[in-house]
Structure 1
Amino acid sequence: MKNCIPLLFVVCLLAGCEQGRFNDDITKAYGLPDNSSEYQDLITREPESLNKYELYNRVLTLWDTPYRELKLPTSNGTTHIIVSGPADGEVLILLHGMNVDSTMWYPNVKALSQNYRVYAIDDILGPGKSKLDHDDDSLEMVISWYFEIFDALKLEKPILAGASQGGWIATNLALARPQRFNKLILLSPAQTLTWLEPSVDILSNLLFSLNPQREGLRNNLATLSSNVDGIEQMYIDQFFRTITTASTSPLLMDMKPFDDEQLSALTMPVLFLAGDNDMFNNQDSVDRAIKIMPCVQAEIISNSGHFISVDQAELVNGKIIEFVAKRNNKQTTEC
């Protein structure tokens, strides 16, 4: 493996990958200009006529801030990362949920990348643009893959944020090497603090996944979001394609709440947010986090479902920015 590292960086340079941080500060938009023929084609064509990558790129037109897409070769396959924000900003890593990809962060990235260098990573086992090139789909592989990315990009002491399954994975990463991370942000993490409890929403979601139809899509989204009308249609189109074509996550059976000993080992500052209409978390989740985690800020976000980063984007963005700024203030007592 050591002999492969120099080659990796050579390939990175040829592929336009980032070593450490970009030399530029992303002062121009890397997305499509609104007047380009490709842009007009993406937003005007019927979603059924677009392939999954075109649907992905279509949602990126909502990014609303300059970005660059990276293709990083690793020992497990190709990693796709969307990068925004100033080159000298503190690093914030975003891990998306199950059956979605990094485009889920479209309501958040503009606010978060004002001061932070944001890396939105497509899960190598998920439906995004990252590609696994072997059959090992274990949690151990995923953890090793993420640390290979962090090492290749020289991301030292980043803030690690995850939503839903991404929150569960982020917790695993923080437990594996707690010294590597500055802070941990968990946005309605699935199967992390408490078990998923049976409910009408769970049953409805399961039945829809067995036979997804357009006419039932809104009701399905209503089990996850308290503000379906606030979700951009281009993202809904991509979400529907994903749930009709993506395979079940191979990590699904591995996902179970962490025990008290594990949670108490998370000594870095932790922000835990859950919706008041969240099928994966409730007040018990918040109470357990406060009781066990040594340095946690945990709360329920009103008028939001599991999709809290969409339902209450402005509020959640503000909570994240405030949390990070407070912890960066040297005059603030550290946990």
Structure 2
Amino acid sequence: MGSTRFAEISVGYEDEGDGEPLVLLHGHPFDRSMWRPQIEHFSRAGWRVIAPDLRGYGESSVVPGTTPLETFVRDTVALLDRLGIERFVLGGLSMGGQIVMEFWRLFPHRIRGMVLADTFPAAETDAGKAARRDMAERVLREGMSGYAHEVLPKMIAPHTIATRPDVARHVMGMMTGTPPEGAAAALRGRAERPDYTEMLSRISVPALVVVGTEDTYTPVSDARDIHRRIPHAQLTVIEQAAHMPNLERADEFNAALEAFLTTLPRTA
């Protein structure tokens, strides 16, 4: 656990283990603790796992207004530069996956492998832009609690809620603990994200695509399309999981990620 400051913000992050760096970017409206099962597993398995709180989330600074995906990327670059990390495996879930795609657009030479979990490459539709802007105004007006209770059964599967109350409490705690100003800024930024669909065919590093069978936000069909477009990508579909298979089915997620990581050539 650490914290550093650069430019106008401070960033909280985990940096556990030794070896090749594995960088994990959380989704919305969560924080770095969503990667707890992966941090614990892979830091013991010979990887150096770095998981930051994105700007506006967790222990990182809240900057009201609009936070484009590019800003999240540049914050991550600044953190990794501070930690002396040049090349790494980069993974992200949902919004985190979109940040991974933006990272490839801007700094492809820094990525030696990528993980795209429960995410979507297309730009937002006009209706989607309006919905994200409306939601930004709602969370500023009402706070995060009402939104969090509404989306919990989509973030994690009803089966998980019934059988894993610890996971449900963790997910709810992350959502209700997110500062509304940070969530709103990210929602506005995602409304204006680029379309990464055509870029996927130009990804030239190994890629793993993961999705839960019960994910209604980014369904299996979206993951299969990403898998089809990225040359030589791997696809793992995790049963009885919705939008957060890394928490709902951590053992299965970790096994898929570990199998993928073992295929990567070691750096000199």
Same-fold call, TM cutoff 0.5: yes
Deviation, 1:234, is 4.9
* Equivalences for residues 121-140 of structure 1 within 5 A: 121-124=52-55, 126-131=56-61, 137-140=67-70
1:252 aligned partner: 190
2:93, 2:202 → 1: CA distance?
Answer: 20
* Equivalences for residues 12-31 of structure 1 within 5 A: none
* Equivalences for residues 221-260 of structure 1 within 5 A: 221-226=152-157, 227-229=160-162, 230-232=164-166, 234-236=169-171, 238-242=173-177, 245=180, 247-248=183-184, 249=186, 250-255=188-193, 257-260=195-198
2:79, 2:144 → 1: CA distance?
Answer: 37
**Equivalent in 266, 277, 280 of residue 214 of structure 2:** 277
Q: Which has the larger radius of gyration?
A: 1
1:328 aligned partner: 265
Which secondary structure state, in structure 2, belongs to the residue aligned with residue 255 of structure 1? coil
- Aligned letter for 2:256? K
Deviation, 1:321, is 0.9
Unaligned regions of 5+ residues in structure 1, if any? 1-68, 331-335
Given that residues 168 and 192 in structure 1 are in contact (C-alpha distance below 8 angstroms), is that contact kept between their aligned partners in structure 2? yes
- Aligned letter for 2:108? P
Unaligned regions of 5+ residues in structure 2, if any? none
Q: Deviations over 1:56-108 (max 9, x none)?
A: xxxxxxxxxxxxx221111131111112113xx11011100011111111232
1:213, 1:106 → 2: CA distance?
Answer: 22
**Equivalent in 156, 165, 182 of residue 112 of structure 2:** 182
1:79, 1:218 → 2: CA distance?
Answer: 27
2:237 aligned partner: 300
Given that residues 144 and 178 in structure 2 are in contact (C-alpha distance below 8 angstroms), is that contact kept between their aligned partners in structure 1? no
- TM-score normalised per structure 1: 0.65
**Equivalent in 77, 96, 109 of residue 39 of structure 2:** 109
Query: Judging changes above 3 Å, is the alpha-carbon distance between structure 1 residues 274 and 193 closer, same or farther for their aligned structure 2 residues?
Result: farther
1:137, 1:282 → 2: CA distance?
Answer: 26
1:163, 1:281 → 2: CA distance?
Answer: 10
Query: Judging changes above 3 Å, is the alpha-carbon distance between structure 1 residues 244 and 157 closer, same or farther for their aligned structure 2 residues?
Result: closer
Given that residues 309 and 316 in structure 1 are in contact (C-alpha distance below 8 angstroms), is that contact kept between their aligned partners in structure 2? yes
Given that residues 91 and 118 in structure 1 are in contact (C-alpha distance below 8 angstroms), is that contact kept between their aligned partners in structure 2? yes
1:97, 1:137 → 2: CA distance?
Answer: 14
**Equivalent in 192, 202, 210 of residue 121 of structure 2:** 192
Q: Does 1:265 align with 2:195?
A: no
Query: Judging changes above 3 Å, is the alpha-carbon distance between structure 1 residues 275 and 195 closer, same or farther for their aligned structure 2 residues?
Result: farther
1:155 aligned partner: 85
1:99 aligned partner: 29
- TM-score normalised per structure 2: 0.80
How many residues matched? 249
Which secondary structure state, in structure 1, belongs to the residue aligned with residue 155 of structure 2? coil
1:220 aligned partner: 151
Deviation, 1:219, is 6.0
1:176, 1:325 → 2: CA distance?
Answer: 26
Given that residues 70 and 103 in structure 2 are in contact (C-alpha distance below 8 angstroms), is that contact kept between their aligned partners in structure 1? no
Q: Does 1:78 align with 2:10?
A: yes
* Backbone CA RMSD of aligned residues: 3.1
1:236, 1:185 → 2: CA distance?
Answer: 21
2:177, 2:23 → 1: CA distance?
Answer: 23
- Percent identity of equivalent pairs: 19
Given that residues 24 and 49 in structure 2 are in contact (C-alpha distance below 8 angstroms), is that contact kept between their aligned partners in structure 1? yes
Given that residues 193 and 289 in structure 1 are in contact (C-alpha distance below 8 angstroms), is that contact kept between their aligned partners in structure 2? no
Which secondary structure state, in structure 2, belongs to the residue aligned with residue 294 of structure 1? coil
Q: Identify the structure with bigger relative contact order (alpha carbons < 8 Å, sequence gap 6+).
A: 2
* Equivalences for residues 14-93 of structure 1 within 5 A: 69-86=1-18, 89-93=19-23
Given that residues 80 and 86 in structure 2 are in contact (C-alpha distance below 8 angstroms), is that contact kept between their aligned partners in structure 1? yes
Deviation, 1:215, is 9.3
More helix per residue: 1 or 2? 2
Deviation, 1:213, is 9.2
